[in-house]
């Protein structure tokens, strides 16, 4: 029932809309492109005959798909319309590689996606692969999920089945900067379970995420003209540099950890002599460890304060999201039926953990169990990003099978 060509056309249409989240913005959503894409999706949902279509005041897109009038409890499928701010996102020029033959893929600007660096390519020979020209993100995170959900919705409208659970569609904004559920009213979801379609590869059911906090460490110094700086100037940048040097390097960093190991990751610095600051993310599968990491930052900041007389240090911690496994463990049916759908389709699958977060982690914490499913994304947050159309089709087929299972619970 999934139309492969139509799914590809959808995906190409959506990635051409620049919708990168902006962490420096004070608006919601943080970038106008998210509203542009949301409006397009709402119009397409209305055109296919979906009910309850709404593009709300916060940019969220809602719809209900239940053409056969099923009385089963609804299932939410979610994806986010924003893309990562970590690489350019505007002006995406997608390129389609039909029947990938193996080996490096050379992008238009000369960059290559090489199996030596992206070994997953070795499993995609024969697939239709979508890349960019090397200047921007592709946006498969998460427009692959958006396209899959839209194709599932249209397939259900074209093939009404009373045995399929009603589908609630939700497209969120600003997931990439931790605000995907900022304006989510859980009562409006009206579903018994949710699934985010926001994962890499194929056949994966993500049942745990990191727990996450953000830290901002600020240093205050005193500025004077450098010609008369002796005994007067207190350079906050030197304090910030000393702080970074004190952070763990051999452990507790993304570069040195894997699997269930947590980390402290400085990712942005700004400022001058008078004031400077560093932004860090704290991640661990054990939520209690985040407090340990925060205490380590405070200890280092105090040490730098004492070493640099006159410098004032401040550590601010902001909660972001919590491990969704804490909720899913008390509602095993969510992952069990996702697994049953893979078995029914005869496809390999596995349960996995995410060294990151999803809107599903936040929804789970709000009370809606929401595992994450794979949709064929690779090299996300990079200009070498690519996606497999074959795996997007498989994700759509799996979603349809999953909805049918929920329709018979």
User: Same structural domain for residues 105 and 140?
Assistant: yes
User: Same structural domain for residues 315 and 387?
Assistant: no
Pick from 320, 349, 369: which residue ends a domain? 320
User: Same structural domain for residues 300 and 393?
Assistant: no
Question: What CATH number is associated with residue 283?
Answer: 3.30.70.360
> Model-level pTM?
0.90
User: Same structural domain for residues 176 and 115?
Assistant: yes
pLDDT digits (tens, 9 = 90+) for 32-60: 999 999 999 999 999 999 999 999 999 99
pLDDT at 1: 82
User: Same structural domain for residues 394 and 285?
Assistant: no
Distance (Å, whole) CA 41 – CA 288: 40
N-to-C CA span, the chain: 23
| Selected catalytic residue, list 22, 44, 174, 175 | 175
pLDDT value at 357 more than 90? no
Active-site residue, 261 included: no
User: Same structural domain for residues 67 and 204?
Assistant: yes
pLDDT value at 243 more than 90? yes
The whole-chain average pLDDT of the chain stands at 96
User: Same structural domain for residues 127 and 17?
Assistant: yes
User: Same structural domain for residues 306 and 334?
Assistant: no
The conformation of residue 42, written as its DSSP 8-state character, comes to: H
User: Same structural domain for residues 110 and 193?
Assistant: yes
Domain that holds residue 178: 4-209+323-407
pLDDT at 66: 97
User: Same structural domain for residues 65 and 178?
Assistant: yes
pLDDT value at 178 more than 90? no
Q: Report strand pairing: 95-97 vs 193-200.
A: unpaired
Largest CA distance in the chain: 81
pLDDT at 181: 94
Question: What CATH number is associated with residue 12?
Answer: 3.40.630.10
Residue positions counted in the chain: 409
Pick from 290, 320, 350: which residue ends a domain? 320
What integer is the mean pLDDT of 64-72?
Answer: 96
| Selected catalytic residue, list 22, 44, 82, 284 | 82
User: Same structural domain for residues 251 and 345?
Assistant: no
Distance (Å, whole) CA 348 – CA 164: 23
What integer is the mean pLDDT of 301-321?
Answer: 94
pLDDT at 41: 98
Q: Report strand pairing: 167-172 vs 61-65.
A: antiparallel
pLDDT at 409: 87
Q: How many domains does the chain have?
A: 2
pLDDT digits (tens, 9 = 90+) for 106-148: 999 999 999 999 999 999 999 999 999 999 999 999 999 999 9
Active-site residue, 206 included: no
């Amino acid at each position: 029932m999934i139309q492969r060509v139509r799914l590809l056309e959808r995906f190409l249409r959506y990635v051409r809309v620049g919708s990168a989240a902006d962490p420096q913005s004070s608006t919601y959503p943080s970038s106008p492109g998210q509203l542009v894409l949301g409006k397009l999706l709402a119009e397409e949902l209305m055109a296919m005959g979906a009910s309850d279509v709404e593009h709300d005041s916060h940019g969220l897109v809602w719809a209900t798909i239940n053409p056969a009038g099923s009385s089963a409890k609804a299932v939410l499928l979610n994806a986010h319309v924003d893309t990562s701010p970590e690489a350019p996102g505007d002006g995406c020029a997608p390129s389609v590689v039909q029947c990938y033959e193996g080996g490096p893929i050379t992008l238009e600007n000369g960059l290559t996606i090489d199996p030596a660096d992206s070994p997953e390519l070795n499993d995609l020979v024969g697939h239709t692969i979508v890349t960019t020209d090397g200047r921007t993100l592709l946006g498969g995170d998460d427009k692959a999920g958006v396209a899959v959900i839209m194709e599932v919705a249209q397939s259900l409208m074209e093939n009404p089945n009373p045995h399929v659970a009603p589908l609630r569609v939700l497209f969120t904004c600003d997931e990439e900067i931790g605000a995907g559920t900022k304006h989510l009213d859980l009562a409006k979801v009206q579903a018994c379970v949710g699934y985010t379609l926001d994962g890499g590869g194929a056949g994966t059911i993500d049942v745990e995420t990191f727990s996450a906090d953000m830290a901002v460490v600020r240093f205050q110094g005193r500025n004077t003209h450098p010609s008369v700086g002796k005994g007067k100037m207190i350079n906050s940048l030197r304090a910030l540099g000393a702080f970074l040097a004190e952070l763990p390097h051999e452990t507790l960093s993304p570069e040195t950890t894997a699997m269930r190991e947590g980390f402290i990751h400085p990712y942005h610095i700004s400022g001058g002599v008078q004031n400077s600051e560093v932004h860090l993310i704290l991640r661990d599968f054990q939520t209690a460890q985040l407090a340990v990491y925060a205490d380590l930052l405070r200890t280092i900041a105090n040490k730098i304060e004492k070493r640099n007389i006159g410098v004032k240090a401040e550590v601010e911690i902001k909660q972001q999201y919590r491990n969704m496994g804490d909720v899913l463990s008390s509602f095993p049916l969510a992952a069990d039926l996702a697994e049953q759908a893979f078995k029914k389709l005869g496809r390999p699958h596995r349960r996995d953990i995410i060294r990151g977060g999803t809107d599903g982690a936040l929804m789970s914490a709000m009370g809606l169990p929401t595992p994450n499913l794979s949709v064929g994304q690779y090299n996300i947050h990079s200009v070498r990003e690519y996606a497999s159309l074959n795996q997007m089709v498989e994700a759509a087929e799996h979603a349809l099978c999953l909805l049918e299972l929920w329709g018979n619970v």
